[in-house]
Homo-oligomer: A and B are copies of this chain.
Amino acid sequence: MEKQILLLPGDGIGPEIIAETKRVLEEIARLYHHTFQFVEGRIGGDAIDATGSPLPEETLDLAKGSDAILLGAVGGPKWDGNAPEKRPEKGLLQIRKALGLYANLRPVRVLKPLMGASTLKEEVLADVDLLIVRELTGGLYFGEPRERRQINGEDGAVDTLLYTRGEIERIVHQAFQFARTRKKRVVSVDKANVLESSRLWREIADEVAREYPDVTLSHMLVDNAAMQLIRDPRQFDVIVTENLFGDILSDEASMITGSLGLLPSASMNTSKVGLFEPVHGSAPDIAGTGAANPLATILSAAMMLQYSFGLADEAKAIEVAVDRVLAQGVRTKDIAKASENAVSTTAITNAVMEALALK
């Protein structure tokens, strides 16, 4: 198989974790006889410094010509004071919108060797394996008007939460399709006791559910979902929700594992082009020290192989290799206990590549 992959290293530890993940992808290409062609672009603070824009035209053109995109991380204190349009995160929001990446997938799987790292008790963690399907191009993130406004002679500000039927239908369908390949349970999260958009969301979820008689749908209010994720995360299989609720709940859920450094994500559009990135941020405090954990990015690359290229075996091989390395006790600093030795970004990647070569 021949594929073009756009690498967007971004800021902070982004360049380091992308460089290491590229080595893993090259190893996959060698072992499984594929040809991956890599191109590189700028995004975020790095792009602002070089071009004045967090998402230069050039990067968007490269993205449109590629089969998938692998992103490191964006942001850092250097750009915190910038105006909204010149902030690193704006690049991320713009590329999501420009490519129509409406489906954000965040799997949360508790890995046995790291269970101790969670602040939650082991008894609620065993076998947690959930997938958050977050709508990514609608809702409060993009609704208009979004502006300062005089309200009865007073300063005020307005944002708009807006959803159309089509936007809701396609993300709910995604969730049901994933549920079919899993435990066949979807929980749709909304705030239907308060929001009109949530009431529409709930109606449509019920309609879509009729097309999937083999999958169970239930509804949960977002405040209750925030509780249930801590009370008993094992109850969930697939969670589907709108953009901002998904932002909050997926970050909350990431804490269940206790190791943010291991969580991948995928953002997909209606064609198979996707953007793959770790859930964690750019960690400017450890950039350049060789301490960054590349595993979330490596696992994001596995999601890319599976969802954009349909290479399920290769994806599985990476996941198995990561599990093996962790079972062996190889740790970067963020996941090492006080008593354990921490290795570098490059060393843990080497371990993954060795595990891969064993097949």
Contacts and interface: CB of A to CB of B under 8 A. Distances in A.
A196 interface: yes
A165 B252 CA distance: 30
Contact of A84 (B89, B164, B199): B199
- Chain A facing B: main interface SS: helix
B196 A158 contact: yes
For the complex of A and B, the 9 pairs showing the least CB-CB separation, nearest first, are A157-B200, A226-B252, A223-B251, A156-B164, A159-B161, A157-B197, A230-B255, A155-B165, A157-B196
Interface stretch (A5-13, A63-71, A146-154, A315-323): A146-154
A227 B199 contact: no
A195 B159 contact: yes
B156 A162 contact: yes
Nearest to A226: B252
Given A84-B199, A194-B93, A230-B119, A156 B163 contact: yes
Contact of A154 (B124, B166, B227): B166
Interface of A: 84, 87, 89, 93, 119-121, 124, 140-141, 143, 146-148, 151-152, 154-166, 191, 193-197, 199-201, 222-224, 226-227, 229-232, 244-245, 247-252, 254-256, 260
Contact of A151 (B164, B191, B245): B164
A86 to B, nearest CB: 12
A151 B250 CA distance: 29
Contact of A146 (B87, B163, B193, B195): B195
Contacts of A230: 119-120, 230, 252, 255-256
A9 to B, nearest CB: 20
A201 B148 CA distance: 12
Contacts of A156: 162-165, 200
A68 B140 CA distance: 36
Contacts of A161: 140, 158-161
B199 A226 contact: no
A214 to B, nearest CB: 26
Contacts of A165: 154-156
Given A119-B230, A199-B84, A141 B248 contact: no
A1 to B, nearest CB: 36
6 contacts: A84-B199, A158-B196, A159-B162, A223-B247, A223-B248, A229-B252
Contacts of A245: 248
A151 B162 contact: yes
Most buried by B among A147, A164, A165: A164
Contacts of A199: 84, 157
Nearest to A166: B154
